[in-house]
């Protein structure tokens, strides 16, 4: 691949971890997380369907969380792995790994807990903030017992006059059994501390929201002083006044067919972005905007993987 080709495929549209579209759901989640922080909540729960965009949302918002005085709050992110053994050691080891701290086979849970706690405390001194947030993704992979380490971290940091808030992120259907277990009296300290506050994170639910996202392709630029995302792939069409957002009604109408047939609550961002990026970079860029039709959208939806083989019509 020559240099020009490498430059072309460096565009954020091809680098999914660099494509950050604002959505109404992200805006709402930002407000909700700040409400939790500013009212002194010790934790909160964010639930949503698989591939709806929860992870992208919380990782995007991690750099935007502020205390009441508008100072940045240090945020740490950990994704819980799927393991055969569900132990406290697994949690502490994953926490250390998430921030680049060493761990050895001979380490005990106490060692790892101390190591991670000291790391958080040192960072607090460096940032001159007594607040910190720990985002725990894929929480449905935990057991009730494994929430003990998070409670321990909160309690020990409180002794150091630090406020650690946990945001747990999970798939709604897969989390139901765990949440029911945590409602048992013996886990009251876990439920009350971490799950009293909760919110649901949806995908796109209206034509207006689709338009809101598409309009960002017409506004965002790459590089910063370069063309818009739309203009990068469709320079002539854009010069003639065409905008990607003009397809919002058509895309939403086609999606509604799938929504009705497969009882889909919302258009998950992973599938939406894959649909739009394929449409923009492969179909419209090659065939031209005048060739756009419903069949083109259907093919892009198919490529996005929105309807996996196991999904059956309602």
| Joined tokens for residue 234 | 């469709």
As a whole number of angstroms, the distance between CA 23 and CA 201 comes to 11
The pLDDT value given to residue 102: 87
Would you state the pLDDT for residue 245?
98
pLDDT of res. 17:
79
Query: Which pLDDT value is given to residue 202?
Result: 96
Omega before 138 within 30 of 0, i.e. cis: no
Q: Which residues make Cβ contacts (< 8 Å) with residue 187, sequence separation at least 6?
A: 144, 147, 181
Residue at token pair 């179909």: 283
CA distance linking residue 280 with residue 37, whole number of Å = 39
Check residue 228 and report its DSSP letter: B
Starting at the earlier edge strand, list the strands of the sheet with 75-79: 75-79, 131-137, 163-171, 43-48, 198-200
Q: How far is it, in rounded angstroms, from Cα 178 to Cα 181?
A: 5
Q: What angle do CA 44, 47, 49 make, to 5 degrees?
A: 170
The reported pLDDT for the residue numbered 232 is 97
First to last CA, the chain: 46
Question: DSSP of 129-155, one letter per residue?
Answer: -SEEEEEEE-GGG--GGGGHHHHHHHH
Instruction: Give pLDDT, residue 217.
Output: 98
| Per-residue confidence (pLDDT) for residue 311, from 0 to 100 | 55
Burial 193-202 (b: 16+ CB within 10 A, else e): bbbebebbbb
Give the whole-angstrom CA distance, residue 56 versus residue 76.
14
Return the pLDDT at 309: 39
199 strand-pairing partners: 46
Distance CA 65, CA 38 (A): 11
Do residues 252 and 207 lie in contact, with contact meaning Cβ atoms separated by under 8 Å? yes
Tell me what pLDDT residue 16 has: 80
pLDDT in tens, the chain (314 residues): 444 655 788 999 998 878 889 999 999 999 999 999 999 999 999 999 988 999 999 999 999 999 999 999 999 999 999 887 889 999 999 999 999 998 888 899 999 999 999 999 999 999 999 999 999 999 999 999 999 999 999 999 999 999 999 999 999 989 999 999 999 999 988 999 999 999 999 999 999 999 999 999 999 999 999 999 999 999 999 999 999 999 999 999 999 999 999 989 999 999 999 999 999 999 999 999 999 999 999 999 999 999 873 355 44
pLDDT score, position 105: 84
């Amino acid at each position: 691949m020559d240099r020009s080709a490498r430059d072309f495929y460096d565009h954020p549209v091809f680098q999914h971890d660099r494509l950050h579209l604002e959505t109404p759901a992200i805006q709402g989640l930002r407000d909700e997380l700040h409400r939790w922080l500013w009212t002194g909540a010790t934790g909160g729960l964010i639930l949503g369907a698989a591939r709806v965009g929860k992870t992208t949302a919380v990782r995007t918002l991690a750099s935007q969380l502020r205390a009441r005085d508008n100072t940045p709050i240090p945020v740490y992110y950990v994704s819980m792995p799927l393991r055969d053994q569900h132990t406290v050691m697994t949690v502490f080891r994953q926490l250390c790994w998430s921030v680049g701290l060493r761990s050895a086979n001979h380490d005990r849970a106490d060692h790892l807990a101390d190591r991670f706690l000291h790391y958080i405390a040192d960072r607090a001194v460096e940032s001159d903030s007594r607040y910190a947030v720990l985002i725990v993704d894929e929480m449905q992979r935990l057991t009730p017992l494994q929430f003990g380490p998070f409670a321990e971290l909160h309690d020990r940091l409180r002794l150091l006059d630090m406020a650690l808030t946990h945001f747990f992120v999970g798939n709604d259907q897969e989390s139901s059994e765990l949440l029911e277990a945590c409602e048992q009296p013996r886990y009251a300290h876990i439920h009350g501390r971490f799950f009293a506050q909760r919110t649901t994170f949806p995908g796109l639910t209206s034509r207006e929201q689709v338009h809101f996202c598409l309009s960002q392709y017409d506004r965002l630029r790459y590089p910063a002083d370069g063309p818009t995302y739309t203009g990068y792939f469709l320079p002539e069409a854009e010069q003639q006044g065409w905008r990607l957002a003009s397809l919002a009604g058509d895309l939403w109408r086609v999606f509604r067919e799938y929504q009705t047939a497969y009882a889909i609550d919302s258009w998950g961002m992973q599938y939406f972005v894959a649909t739009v990026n394929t449409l923009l970079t492969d179909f419209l860029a090659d065939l031209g905007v005048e060739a756009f039709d419903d069949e083109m959208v259907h093919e892009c939806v198919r490529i996005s993987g929105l309807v996996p083989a196991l999904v059956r019509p309602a």
